[in-house]
């Protein structure tokens, strides 16, 4: 606030509200001043907020936007920051209607603060990753030629929940054969066929914190092209991980992976960033992508997930979740990334 000249922040992101206050409900609005804060909830969440938020002031109001407006007006705030992606057009109009303060767009507010995790956050992410990896290995043993992608996804979600997760991180991706060329190919009714590459992207949520991991396996003996593409992606994955250390930019990590894929002549098939931060959301800062200049610090947590997606043929993605340490990184996901032939 000191550096941006704002007097208060209007925060609508559930993840950021949870980070700042401890409130886990799905609907609220938080106004954060330089020395005070106030959480606005409706009657469904009053008791929950008071139990979860400790000393944070909580106000019950039928319309949280109206409550926040009254608070800002009474406190004499003049410059109020907000994230335009987390406040609706209708909500912004309500704040604008007062004419008593100026709204200042602040995209990604406080994302940099959340990027570096504390010990408690890391412990929860580590638990989420352990649950997900364990569930994947358990389910994979039962997947056969003829299994439907959707069946595999359902079994994996059940195993993740059974092992203690409160949810899966996202709809599980199971993409086999030519469908592997879809980076986010949600599980379909397609049957897995002999010779198929199958990409499985999954994660668990444990006490609010997420994990994210991807494995690509082959059913049967891999062909020469499959071996080549898999090895290129594996080398890109390993090169990026070996480049991780404090003081290095996220763009350099991406370049380490991307350079391997491009050298192999497959650069046009690598169509996304090399990774993303993971925490209270499955996608948050830092971004591991071309041109990004965020400098890595100890205890940042993010994915490393290079991929190659060839239309009409299929694809490979290999993803691990890592924590930056004082001398490199720690792998939080635990499935070995050697090519598995089932």
Res 112: pLDDT: 79
Question: Does residue 100 or residue 315 have the better pLDDT?
Answer: 315
Res 55: pLDDT: 85
Tokens of 128: 């989420």
Mean pLDDT, all residues of the chain: 95
- What is the domain partition of the chain in residue ranges? 8-109, 115-341
Percent of the chain having pLDDT more than 90? 85
Residue 295: is its pLDDT beyond 90? yes
Mean pLDDT of the 269-290 span: 97
Residue 318: is its pLDDT beyond 90? yes
- Local confidence band at 115 (pLDDT 50, 70, 90 cut-offs): very high
**Structural domain 115-341, CATH architecture:** Alpha-Beta Complex (3.90)
Res 248: pLDDT: 97
Q: Is the dihedral of CA 135, 136, 139, 142 positive or negative?
A: negative
Calpha distance 16→77 (Å, rounded): 21
Mean pLDDT of the 141-163 span: 98
Q: Is the dihedral of CA 171, 173, 179, 183 positive or negative?
A: positive
- Local confidence band at 97 (pLDDT 50, 70, 90 cut-offs): confident
Calpha distance 18→1 (Å, rounded): 20
Question: Does residue 277 or residue 108 have the better pLDDT?
Answer: 277
Residue 199: is its pLDDT beyond 90? yes
Write the CATH number of the domain with boundaries 8-109.
3.40.350.10
Q: Is the pTM of this model over 0.85?
A: yes
- Local confidence band at 85 (pLDDT 50, 70, 90 cut-offs): confident
Mean pLDDT of the 219-243 span: 98
Question: Does residue 112 or residue 117 have the better pLDDT?
Answer: 117
* Selection from 272, 271, 308, 275 nearest residue 294 by Cα: 275
Task: Give one word for 204, left, alpha or beta, with left for phi > 0 and alpha for psi -120 to 50.
Answer: beta
Contacts (Cβ under 8 Å, ≥6 apart) of 192: 143, 144, 145, 146, 147, 148, 149, 152, 176, 177, 198, 219
Question: Does residue 91 or residue 246 have the better pLDDT?
Answer: 246
- Local confidence band at 50 (pLDDT 50, 70, 90 cut-offs): very high
């Amino acid at each position: 606030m000191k550096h941006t000249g704002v007097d208060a922040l209007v925060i609508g992101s559930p993840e950021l509200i949870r980070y700042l206050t401890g409130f886990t409900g799905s609907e609220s609005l938080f106004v954060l001043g330089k020395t005070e804060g106030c959480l606005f909830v409706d009657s469904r969440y009053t008791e929950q907020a008071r139990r979860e938020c400790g000393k944070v002031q909580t106000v019950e109001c039928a319309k949280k936007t109206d409550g926040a407006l009254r608070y800002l007006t009474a406190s004499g705030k003049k410059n109020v920051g907000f994230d335009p992606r987390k406040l609706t057009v209708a909500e912004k109009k309500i704040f604008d209607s007062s004419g008593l303060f100026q709204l200042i767009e602040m995209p990604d507010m406080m994302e940099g603060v959340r990027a570096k995790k504390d010990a408690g956050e890391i412990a929860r992410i580590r638990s989420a990753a352990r649950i997900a990896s364990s569930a994947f290995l358990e389910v994979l043993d039962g997947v056969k030629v003829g299994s439907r992608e959707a069946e595999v996804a359902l079994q994996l979600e059940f195993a993740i929940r059974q092992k203690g997760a409160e949810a899966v991180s996202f709809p599980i991706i199971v993409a086999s054969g030519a469908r592997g060329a879809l980076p986010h190919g949600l599980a379909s009714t397609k049957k897995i066929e002999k010779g198929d590459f199958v990409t499985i992207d999954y994660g668990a949520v444990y006490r609010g914190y997420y994990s994210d991991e991807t494995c690509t396996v082959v059913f049967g003996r891999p062909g020469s092209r499959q071996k080549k593409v898999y090895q290129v992606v594996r080398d890109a994955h390993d090169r990026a991980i070996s480049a991780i250390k404090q003081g290095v930019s996220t763009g350099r990590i991406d370049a380490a992976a991307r350079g391997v894929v491009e050298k192999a002549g497959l650069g046009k098939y690598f169509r996304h960033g090399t990774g993303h931060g993971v925490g209270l959301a499955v996608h948050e800062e830092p971004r591991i992508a071309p041109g990004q200049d965020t400098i890595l610090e100890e205890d940042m947590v993010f994915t490393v997930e290079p991929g190659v997606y060839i239309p009409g043929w299929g694809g490979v993605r290999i993803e691990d979740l890592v924590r930056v340490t004082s001398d490199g990184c720690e792998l939080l996901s635990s499935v070995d990334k050697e090519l598995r032939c089932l």
